[in-house]
Amino acid sequence: MTSDVAAGLIEPYLCDDDVDRIIKWTKATITRIQEYMAEGNPGAEEMSGYWMQSQKTIPKWLEVMRHVHFLSEDEMRVVAKRPEHRFGIFYTTLYLQPTTYIEWETKKFVENGGKLMKQRVENLQEVKSMGFDIIVNCSGLGSRELVGDREVFPTRGQIIKVECPKLKYFFIDDLYYALLK
């Protein structure tokens, strides 16, 4: 996520092949967001919904989600909205609006002795030479130049807010997603 505005679900998406590392990071993310929620902060909550697929995939990261249920043929007839929806999974994860969460994390970082610096960085070696133990790369689209990641490119989505009290669950498929709020 390169925007502090676009909310989303906590689940791995387009990650590398190190499944154990992905599971570890996902668990740590869920734990951290639960800490944020426990303090009564806004913009995070559990959310359940449907993931519809054209080709059956069961990623290992589903093991860290709650209430995982593979849809039966009868359930698919009710839930599937397009002909390419051939397989479905229902599960519960966390929903997060990042703006206030980023503020909270920044405050925790500073309270624990972290220091914020603002300066132009041409490469990560520059930062490494400053003696930091940990470097967090939040360069987003700037990663193209900073670390030579030519696969990073801008995309654009549409956020449409509609009132729909009948909608109770998120809905994801190969092309679209709809979240509650």
* Structural domains present in the chain: 8-110+154-178 (3.30.9), 117-150 (no CATH)
* pLDDT (0 to 100) of residue 156: 67
Does the predicted TM-score (pTM) go above 0.75?
A: yes
User: 91-102, pLDDT tens digit by residue?
Assistant: 999 999 888 999
Burial grade of 53 (CB within 10 A; 0-12, 13-18, 19 or more): middle
Spatial CB neighbours of 145, under 8 Å, sequence gap ≥ 6: none
* pLDDT (0 to 100) of residue 28: 94
Q: How far apart are the first and last CA of the chain?
A: 19
**Residue 36: what are its φ and ψ, rounded to 5°?**
-60, -45
User: 39-95, pLDDT tens digit by residue?
Assistant: 999 999 999 999 999 999 898 889 999 999 999 999 999 999 899 999 999 999 999
> Would you tell me the crossing angle of helices 98-111 and 19-38 to the nearest 10 degrees?
90
Check pLDDT > 70 for residue 181: no
3-state DSSP assignment of residue 83: coil
